[in-house]
Structure 1
Amino acid sequence: MKLLFEPLVKEPVITICTFLLLLVSLFILNSLSPDIFPQYYLYVILSILFFYIIYYIGFDVVVFFSPYLYIISLLLLILTLILGEVTRGTIRWIPIGGLSFQPSEVVRPFLLLFFAKMLIVFRGKFKDIGFMIILGLIPVILIAIQPSFGVSLITFLGFFAMFFTKVFKLKYLLLFAMLFGMIMPTTWYYLKPYQKERIMSFVEYNNDPKGSGYNTIQSIISVGSGGIFGRGFKKGFQTQLKYLPEKHTDFIFAGISEELGFLGSVAVLVFLFTLFYRIATIVSETQNEIYLYFGIGTISILLFESLINIGMNLGLLPITGLPLPLVSAGGSSLMSTFLSLGLIVSGSKK
């Protein structure tokens, strides 16, 4: 029993917030998409198992093997392009035993960990900057090729947050801004038609309410129709009559808003940001630089994912396909989050 409860009581705030978010997720998914509920339950079990495995292996041990894990991660990303399932013009998933896994999500904690380890030996010389950029860009480019623009962008932002924390100098911020500014315009020509449509639907969704703007409009309607207390479990008009698209993944926040109302939505936000605040507190108190940088990368990714997902549900940001951490029905995203939490709790000195 000690093995079961030790990681749970070590950081009770993380445990409670994670449990409450999972509870909301399973509850709302049983209403919005009961057909995927049994399969997602398996992902939850696997994610919890990964949490325990990574916790008992230990943060320092995983750090030691991080160079090998980085190489394995790159090989998995390459393997995805060769053997992955083609879905909607993208190659992101590898089928294993009846389940599909998205390596770009699952390997992300190990990419961050190796990048954090390399930041320790960073000396600020020009060749070091080039080396760090290459380390970060290789996985980002491999993910973008799939293509998975949202995941590649979030991964890049995680690397950037870690690097900026290390150097905290204006010249490096300007360097990254210049690189980002040069790369972003050219990416338009390499985007798939559906990705361009997502961006244009954000810019002018009211001009095409039955076409490219449909998803955004239905999401906004769902959010607004829930009121204070919501329409109730399985009583959402938008969700149950299938007007709301991708209600179990991209637009789950809109589904929560309609069925659980403003109070339910606020509760989810409170759980999420309490979790992030606790992780930030743990990380800020550490003397371990690798743990510090890894924690910053992890918080940045989870925070950006949350803000972008909620923003697109409210019609404030373009649709990117990014999940709401610990809530959306993304099995690979859930496993990635639990691996990160396992490393965070394991490395905590409490």
Structure 2
Amino acid sequence: MKPLGVGIIGLKHQHPRWYQPLWQYLPEYRLVAMSDEDERFAAGENELFKLDVHTDYHDLLKRDDVDVVIIWLPHSQMPSAVEAAAQAGKHVIVEKPCAANLAGVRRIAGVAQRHPHLKISSPYCWRNHAVSSHIKQLFGEGALGNVTAFNVRLNAGGAHRYVRDNALWMLNASEGGGPMWNLAVHWLDYVHWLTGEEFTAARAFFTPPAGPPRRDIEDSAQAVLKLSSGAIVSVDVSYSITPSYPGARDIYFSARGTNGSLAWSPAWTGTEDELLIVREDRPDGARGESRKITSEAVSGYGGQMGRDWLRRFATAVLEDRPPDVSVGDMLSAAKAADMAIASARAN
């Protein structure tokens, strides 16, 4: 089967380089071209990518050998690029959070409605982690009973990494560069995926920037959100992890219900994970279980889960199936983050 030709739109983002090792595992795709308006910067990046380079992504979109585009532009520019790509008949992977604000994500939803034959999705790839299939099964079985609470964390290295990686635009609140909009959406999507519920309310607090680089985004953000069932979701996200923290990431997920609970601290830099499961209804009396789960060793962003998300998107395109992450899902995560941001600004 002929591989899907891929065009990269936008290079001043951390992910083009982080994703690059993943493509070697994916014969479903063939990278053919990339674009960035900074010609000199693009030429330097092409020492790695070795692709055809365009300074105007509209020229890339005219190519017959591009079937799918992956958009890594500043958040505020993403909706326009999605619309242009759809008008050119291209399938679209748009990096989360997909826009700088809720209005932008709604614009993308409108594009999807006007182009139902195209696949438009965002790589919320934690759904594809090897541990996630176990968690999804437990939720499907009702193993925790009536789920009443979630606790999630995603605390990453300092904002200086956006200077290091030529993504200075991420330091601006107008671009949606803060952790509540840029990081929390990962877990907000995950909870929505597990429960099928929408978020109905939020209360949040942010801390201002501390130390360099100069920026107007929050450093730490914490929120409590309510799901339509009444369950609460506690969210802790930040750019405040110090350099010595293992893996430069503090990531955690837990869920608690009337029949038990589960907890997971993802192995961001490894392949060995442990999922703690407690169930009150186990007939053998062994109510606690520590389940060891091994992921494949895959180089590139997200490892196995990043590769598998991309593979499943290719399958959606090639077999004309709905993508795993729908535009509706993208909108649900954005709405929840937007509620939290509105609350923090009001406090």
Q: Same fold (TM over 0.5)?
A: no
Higher helix share: 1
**Structure ranking higher in strand proportion:** 2
Structure with bigger RCO (C-alpha 8 Å, 6+ apart): 1
Question: Which TM-score band applies after superposition, normalised by the shorter structure?
Answer: under 0.3
